[in-house]
């Protein structure tokens, strides 16, 4: 058995892994790096020559797992793509949106040509093969390799995958959360998987959760920060991922409003977030989630404007703007909006999700008041005057929860993926101490690891 990471460096970027097991080549995820353009944004596909893959497995529809799927599918003509049905609906929306984003970039000259177009995605969907969680299936033509998805509690449709072949059981967690979020319920990974090799995400390895953390207290702190901005006569900008964090935060706001908190504030979402929220609503009975009886758009009075087409929001005081992207990547709605927002001391920008160290969001978070912040290299920097706060509503399990899970499963081999260098280093040290008989490996990009 051979495992090979197709990522270009040890980070959360274009997640994609090649696994050769019992003569069958599997591709785990097909991500695109959110902070890179052109070839650098893709996994290193030189390790995956055309036609070699027998199947592609997609754990969920975030772009760092999905964004290069059309390119990999184009090169791997035989390979079906397995995913849950909800991931399929979300992936369709995310990829079509990527085509639009690439179109803008080509127009502005930052990208030479788009990697794929709407028509190619529509044609490829015929090879998407939806599978339920907790129902084993085999790779077509290779009945000796069994696959099974398990709900990973990260975002709607997300799943870890168990691969069984040649008497070995390999488990890839994908992105995972072991606690309930406001909408998503905790991962549903069985305790008796008997895993030989675990491929585990390490997102939060370098950022321990605050002591005394409770989600309720975090929600209260968020509410206080929002009320403060609105009482000062300002507004709130919450940069959020369109998929997952937007819906979680909308239900948090719904709960706050039903308690009489923030009842006068209007909430605005737009663009991709609106489309994704509609899919959440349509799939609410097909996913394990809380509030499955409630449509976010329709049964709550949270959202006053959900602009589908327009991505331009005019600033008004007293509002909450939950805009994507969460890392405030250049040319996205939250990045553009911040140009007219950061320099107003009445406002508050409240971060509720992950931001990679090289993102505009990270530049704001590490900035001091009155600093000049470059949000977009092509535009003038903005003075940072508004309140900046960060809250922990991560869709990823805290590092101790993941370490506990790995220790409980005690697999003889652990592969650490989906984390920055410091994050994987913490897991390496921690798991080496807690599982002295196991081999803990941080795969280097492109390295062929024989297992
Ligand atoms: Zn994710
Ligand atoms: Zn991810």
Question: How many C-beta atoms lie closer than 10 Å to residue 238's C-beta?
Answer: 25
Cα of 383 vs centre of ligand 1, distance in Å, is 32
Question: How much distance in Å is there from the Cα of 266 to the middle of ligand 2?
Answer: 31
Of the bound ligands, which one is closest to the alpha carbon of residue 394?
1
Q: Of 104-113, 141-150, 271-280, 283-292, which has the strongest mean pLDDT?
A: 141-150
Ligand 1 centroid to Cα of residue 395, in Å, is 8
Expressed in angstroms and rounded, the spacing between residue 361 Cα and the centre of ligand 2 is 17
Paired with 164 in beta bridges are 146, 169
From the CA of 31, the nearest ligand is 2
243 CA from centroid of ligand 2 (Å): 12
- Ligand with the closest atom to the CA of 153: 1
What are the backbone angles phi and psi of residue 199, rounded to the nearest 5°? Answer: -105, 115
Q: What is the pLDDT of residues 339-395, one digit of tens each?
A: 999 999 999 999 998 888 889 999 999 999 999 999 999 899 999 999 999 999 999
Give the mean model confidence (pLDDT) for residues 236-256. 95
CA distance 382 to 3: 45
* Model confidence band, residue 306 (pLDDT cutoffs 50, 70, 90): low
How far does residue 212's CA lie from ligand 1's centre (Å)?
25
pLDDT at 120 over 60: yes
Q: How far apart are CA 11 and CA 7, in angstroms?
A: 8
pLDDT of residue 310: 59
Please tell me the pTM assigned to this model: 0.95
Res 271 pLDDT > 80: no
What is the DSSP annotation of 25-58?
Answer: EEEE-----TT--GGGGS--GGGS-TT--SEEE-
pLDDT class for 239, splitting at 50, 70, 90?
Answer: very high
Q: Is the pLDDT of residue 56 over 90?
A: yes
Distance 345 CA to ligand 2 centre (A): 34
C-alpha of residue 251 to centroid of ligand 2, in Å = 22
Ligand nearest to the CA of 395: 1
- Banded model confidence at residue 28, pLDDT cuts 50, 70, 90: very high
Task: Report the C-alpha gap between 102 and 115 in whole angstroms.
Answer: 8
Rounded Cα gap, residues 245 and 46, in angstroms: 34
Reported as a pLDDT band with limits 50, 70 and 90, residue 292 is: very high
Judge whether residue 335 has pLDDT over 70: yes
Q: Whose atoms come closest to the Cα of 15: which ligand? A: 2
- Determine how many CB atoms are found less than 10 A away from the CB of residue 290: 14
Average pLDDT score, the chain: 95
* pLDDT score at 309: 55
Does residue 328 contact residue 255 with C-beta atoms inside 8 Å?
no
308 has a pLDDT exceeding 90:
no
**66 C-alpha to ligand 2 centroid (Å):** 9
What's the average model confidence in pLDDT over 207-214? 93
pLDDT at 159 over 60: yes
The Å distance, Cα 175 to ligand 1 centre, comes to 5
Task: Tell me how far the alpha carbon of residue 124 is from its chain's centroid.
Answer: 22
Distance 398 CA to ligand 1 centre (A): 14
* pLDDT value, residue 307: 61
**pLDDT at residue 311 is higher than 70:** no
pLDDT of residue 434: 98
pLDDT digits (tens, 9 = 90+) for 10-23: 888 899 999 999 99
Residue scoring higher pLDDT (61 or 274): 61
Q: pLDDT value at position 313?
A: 83
pLDDT digit string (tens) for 390-430?
999 999 999 999 999 999 999 999 999 999 999 999 999 99
Centroid of ligand 2 to alpha carbon of 202 (angstroms): 10
Q: Mean per-residue pLDDT for 118-145?
A: 97
- Of the listed ligands, the closest to the CA of 34 is 2
The phi and psi torsions of 347 (rounded to 5 degrees) equal: -80, 165
Q: How confident is the model at residue 188 (pLDDT cuts 50, 70, 90)?
A: very high
**What domains lie within the chain, and their CATH numbers?**
2-207+395-450 (3.60.15.10), 215-390 (3.40.50.10890)
**β-pairing, 2-5 with 448-450?**
antiparallel
Ligand 2 center–CA 59 separation, angstroms: 9
HSE at residue 170, side-chain half, CA atoms within 13 A, is 22
**Ligand 1 centroid vs 60 CA: distance in angstroms?**
7
CA of 417 relative to ligand 2 center, distance in Å: 10
């Amino acid at each position: 058995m051979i495992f090979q990471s197709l990522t270009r460096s040890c980070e959360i970027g274009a997640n994609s892994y090649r696994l050769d097991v019992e003569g069958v080549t599997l591709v785990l995820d097909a991500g695109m790096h959110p902070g890179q353009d052109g070839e650098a944004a893709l996994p290193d596909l030189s390790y995956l020559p055309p036609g070699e893959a027998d199947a592609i497995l997609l754990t969920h529809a975030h772009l760092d797992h999905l964004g290069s799927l059309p390119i990999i599918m184009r090169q791997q003509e035989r390979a079906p793509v397995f995913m849950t049905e909800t991931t399929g609906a979300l992936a369709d929306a995310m990829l079509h949106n990527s085509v639009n984003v690439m179109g803008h970039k080509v127009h502005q000259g930052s990208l030479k040509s788009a990697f794929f177009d709407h028509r190619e995605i529509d044609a490829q969907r015929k090879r998407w093969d939806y599978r339920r969680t907790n129902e084993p299936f085999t790779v077509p033509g290779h009945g000796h390799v069994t696959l099974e998805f398990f709900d990973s509690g990260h975002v709607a449709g997300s799943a870890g995958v168990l691969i069984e072949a040649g008497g070995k059981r390999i488990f890839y967690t994908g992105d995972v959360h072991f606690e309930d979020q406001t909408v998503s319920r905790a991962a549903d990974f069985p305790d008796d998987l008997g895993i030989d090799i675990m491929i585990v995400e390490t997102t939060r390895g370098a950022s321990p959760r605050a002591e005394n953390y409770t989600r309720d207290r975090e929600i209260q702190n968020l509410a206080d920060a929002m009320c403060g901005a609105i009482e000062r006569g300002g507004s709130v900008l919450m940069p959020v991922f369109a998929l997952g964090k937007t819906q979680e935060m909308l239900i948090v706001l719904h709960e706050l409003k039903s308690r009489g908190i923030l009842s006068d504030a209007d909430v605005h979402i737009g663009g991709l977030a609106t489309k994704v929220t509609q899919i959440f609503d349509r799939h609410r009975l097909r996913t394990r989630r809380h509030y499955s009886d409630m449509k976010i758009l329709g049964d709550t009075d949270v959202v006053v404007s959900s602009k589908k087409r327009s991505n331009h929001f005019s600033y008004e005081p007293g509002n909450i703007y939950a805009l994507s992207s969460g890392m405030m990547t250049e040319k996205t709605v939250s990045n553009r909006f911040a140009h007219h927002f950061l320099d107003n001391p009445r406002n508050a920008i409240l971060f509720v999700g992950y931001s990679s160290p090289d993102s505009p969001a990270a530049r704001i978070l590490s900035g001091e008041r009155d600093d000049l912040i470059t949000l977009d290299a092509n535009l003038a920097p903005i003075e940072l005057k508004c309140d900046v706060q960060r809250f922990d509503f991560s869709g990823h399990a805290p590092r101790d929860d993941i370490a506990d899970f790995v220790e409980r499963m005690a697999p003889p081999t652990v592969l650490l993926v989906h984390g920055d260098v410091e994050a994987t280093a913490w897991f390496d040290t921690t798991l080496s101490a807690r599982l002295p008989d196991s081999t803990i490996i941080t795969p280097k990009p492109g390295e062929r690891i024989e297992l």
